[in-house]
């Protein structure tokens, strides 16, 4: 018999740095238990923001699924910039090579709604364009 799902939450924490607080307060789970489990599973991804899909059950038990880091964070890391352009239409903060774009798209592939690598590259290129980043070899 399966457990009854009470709610599903999408939250983000820095890898290995989850702690009880407002983000988890409304979940109705044992926060230290979640934090320990999350930190153990993400200690190899330190410095990354890790999105989590947290499923809370009626008996206050939970399960969670880790996702890949946000594309915008990976683009900023690849370019070595703190943030994207405040006016993406006119200001460019850097240029992303086609090789880096492919690398990011391959990493993000499990979480993207894309059938193949070319479609994933176009999605990541669109994110880059909205950040004010020029992408070599792609018209997105």
Q: How many CA atoms lie within 13 A of 76 on its CB side?
A: 15
Q: In the chain, where are the structural domains located? A: 5-66, 71-135
Look up residue 119 and give its two tokens: 């479609």
Quick one: average pLDDT of 44-56? 90
Quick one: average pLDDT of 74-87? 85
| Geometric angle at alpha carbon 39, from 123 and 68, rounded to 5° | 10
Whether 1 shows a pLDDT value over 70: the answer reads: no
pTM above 0.95, yes or no: no
Domain 71-135, classified CATH 3.40.640.10, yes or no: no
> What is the reported pLDDT for 41?
92
CATH of domain 5-66: 3.30.1550.10
Distances (CA, A) of 45 to 17, 38, 39, 51, 83: 11, 11, 10, 12, 21
Q: What is the radius of gyration, based on Cα positions, of the chain? A: 18
Question: For 12-49, how does the pLDDT look when each residue is reduced to its tens digit (9 = 90+)?
Answer: 999 888 888 888 888 888 888 989 999 999 988 888 89
Whether 140 shows a pLDDT value over 80: the answer reads: no
């Amino acid at each position: 018999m399966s457990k009854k799902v009470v709610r599903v939450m999408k939250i983000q924490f820095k890898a290995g740095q989850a702690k009880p607080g407002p983000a988890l307060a409304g979940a109705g789970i044992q926060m230290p238990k979640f934090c320990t489990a999350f930190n153990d599973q993400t200690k190899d991804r330190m410095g990354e923001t890790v999105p989590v899909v947290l499923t809370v059950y009626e008996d206050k038990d939970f399960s969670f699924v880790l996702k890949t880091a946000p594309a915008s964070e990976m683009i900023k890391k690849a370019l070595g910039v703190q943030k994207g352009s405040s006016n993406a239409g006119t200001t460019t903060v850097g240029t992303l090579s086609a090789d880096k774009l492919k690398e990011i798209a391959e990493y993000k592939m499990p979480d993207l709604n894309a059938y193949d690598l070319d479609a994933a590259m176009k999605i990541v290129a669109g994110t880059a364009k909205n950040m004010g980043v020029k992408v070599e070899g792609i018209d997105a």
